[in-house]
Structure 1
Amino acid sequence: MPLQLKTMLVIDDDTSIFRSIRCLFAGKLNVLHAPTVQTALHLLEREEIDICLVDYILPDGDGLEVLKTIHDLYPYIPAVFLSGYLNREVENKAPSFEYGAYRVLSKPFDPNEFVKKVMNDVEKGGKAWAYYILKKYKEKHPGMSDNQKHKVKREKRLDEILLRIKNEPGKWTSGMLAPMYEVEPRQIQYDIQTLKARGHRIQTSGRRYILDEEKNNAKC
């Protein structure tokens, strides 16, 4: 019976980088591609991801924000921050507990060293990182140490946000919704992207959210 490969998600809009990485890890890892933040959120929800490579500059978001989302919602997945445009401030932020990068690598990279480091992160670092993150999470959220409970809490928030937008179109902004759930506005923005990835036609009008129900129903 063939050994099932672990899966790496490359979050980078540069197709040539993705192809190079896929070739480097051929036979070692199953490599998926997310050229946008929205695609990344979609794949993280539907696939069993073992490690993420996250680029700093993305067409619809910031790599640091993607790191934070992975860190908050999928703390058991080690994320490697990958970019050729790093500055000292970003380099210091990425591996902090707030953003949770397991490793920071800059492009261009040495292929052999790159493969060696990533495979080590997958085989050994993932478990160590999960232990560290969950330990910190327990300290920060007593009684909410189970990642599944965290997911359930987020699903409830997503359902409520969708219902509010549906019932009161044009009323809500990220800044208005955030205090209700004790999160930052950027987290609400990622929640909206998740809902869009699930097929809900949410649009903005002057920063306020509306649901295009006609298009949404037509899709069904």
Structure 2
Amino acid sequence: MARALPSALPYAQQRAVFARFREANPEPVSDLKYTNAFTLLVAVALSAQATDAGVNRATRPLFARVSTPQQMLELGEEGLVDHIRTIGLYRQKAANVMRLSRILVENYGGEVPSSRAALQSLPGVGRKTANVVLNVWFGQPTQAVDTHIFRIANRVRIAPGADVVAVERGIEDNVPAEFQLKAHHWMILHGRYICQARRPRCALCIINDLCPYPEKTV
């Protein structure tokens, strides 16, 4: 029998957690570098199973040359491969970027669509990537659940869930509305730099006293 998940933090504690995140970092931004909706889409798609820093190193010269789907098609798949070969799964990712670029040119007038369904119909674009683009570029309060957010949501009990969709819905249900737009940024940054997987840096944590995690480090 599967172990029952713990309940989420009460509303007052949820609000206190995110109020502290906001006070410490009022305007959190993605670590990925981009210039427009298309380069953001490409950067997020390339970041799967890769670090943001590694993606940024590869895309800095790429985005200096390419900023539209049409320019990506003109660069060509092998030209793209030359730029991103340091990124994991670069061949598959290059093929997906070329295919999605052609679809954007042929079906969307070269523009990145602003609906999750349309974004997820593009090659190599899953729910997490779509949610990042919707949140970062289009200003929608979507929750892009990666490994950091999944860990934080369960460890801090912001939104306990057995899978990413359950965590995504839990964040939408549990986090006060005023924090929804930036919630996933704060959680990613907290997970990446403070509440790390193997040894969380609890002594530096601004929500240490609010966190119910039983295995805190000192």
TM-score relative to the length of structure 2: 0.31
> Which has the larger strand fraction?
1
> Which has the larger helix fraction?
2
Q: Which has the higher contact order (CA 8 A, sep 6+)?
A: 2
TM-score relative to the length of structure 1: 0.30
